Amino acid sequence: MKLTKKSPMLFVVLAVLGLSGCGTSRVDNTKLVIGMECGYQPFNWTVNKANDYTLPIHGTNQFADGYDIAVARYLSQDLGKEVVIKKIEWDSLIPSLLNDEINMVLAGMSVTPKRLETIDFSDPYLASDLAFLIKTENLPEGNSKENPASYADLKALFNNQNLVCQANVVGDDIIETYFSSLTDVSIHHNTALGTYPLAAQDVKAGLAFAMPAELPVVEAMTNFGGLSVLYCDYQSFLSEDDITGLSVNVGLKKGNDELRKEINASLKKLTQEQRSMMMGEASERSANN
């Protein structure tokens, strides 16, 4: 099934109870109550007007757009379930899931050993590559997908420079593990920031030299202008766990096997071509946001 803006009307409802943090709301698997930041382009972001791609944000007069919303719309249609979008800060997503204020985290979240201690995950709904956001003037000549920077190239390029990322995401761990702890070069790990756009602005302002993230995120951040994608041969130096962490998955409460199986069965029907199309369209819209 090809997903287009002409797909059948989805089931969308506003939850009766309050926003995350009220402490009294409870959900079950009869509907998809989804937590996301609504500020993480191109996965999810906030807009003031509805369009053919958006869903309303619960408890507000705003709407959410992005790749995560496209996936939410697909799951709603395929599973025949109502969907509620709750705008929740990144660090509060897992606590909100554990408190039953939502039953899904659909927010560009990667699987990590630490997160697996507290929640379960679906199969990936997007597999990605690692890239770095860098000022165009600092981009090495000839760098491309076909000619990515090696680990040695990256260390030499980043020597005596600062790297920055959003807090509590795989990119920030990559800075710490593969760059700031080295003895043969001096690479400073700036304090992580609240969002990718904030980190991207630091790169643009020269407060940091580069920012690691999943390729779609880096591509979206180049919309700030004067910034480019630095491609790298990440598979040659990242651990298997960290490569796995570049994929994004739906976060679910431990033991919620019913919903996890439903989501996995639905995702199996979503082809790689459809996922690429949805991400491409979301990235294009985020450029105009």
pLDDT of 1 strictly over 70: no
Mean pLDDT, range 103-113, rounded to an integer: 93
pLDDT bracket for residue 148 (50, 70, 90):
very high
Q: Do residues 195 and 59 share a domain?
A: no
Q: Which tens digit of pLDDT belongs to each residue from 176-223? A: 999 999 999 999 999 999 888 899 999 999 999 999 998 888 988 898
Q: Do residues 219 and 208 share a domain?
A: yes
Q: Do residues 260 and 206 share a domain?
A: no
pLDDT of 162 strictly over 90: yes
pLDDT of 175 strictly over 50: yes
- Answering whether pTM is above 0.85, one says no
Q: Do residues 46 and 116 share a domain?
A: yes
Q: Do residues 224 and 258 share a domain?
A: no
Element (H, E) at 157: helix 151-158
In a domain, 217, yes or no: yes
Q: Which tens digit of pLDDT belongs to each residue from 45-61? A: 999 999 999 999 999 99
- What is the CATH number for 269? 3.40.190.10
In a domain, 2, yes or no: no
285-10-37-245 Cα dihedral, nearest 10 degrees: -80
Give the domain extent around 269.
31-127+247-287
In a domain, 13, yes or no: no
Query: What is the number of domains present in the chain?
Result: 2
Percent of the chain with pLDDT over 70: 90
Q: Starting at the edge strand that comes first in sequence, how are the strands of the sheet with 44-47 ordered?
A: 39-40, 44-47, 63-65, 55-56
In a domain, 56, yes or no: yes
Judge contact between 41 and 220, C-beta under 8 A. yes
In a domain, 211, yes or no: yes
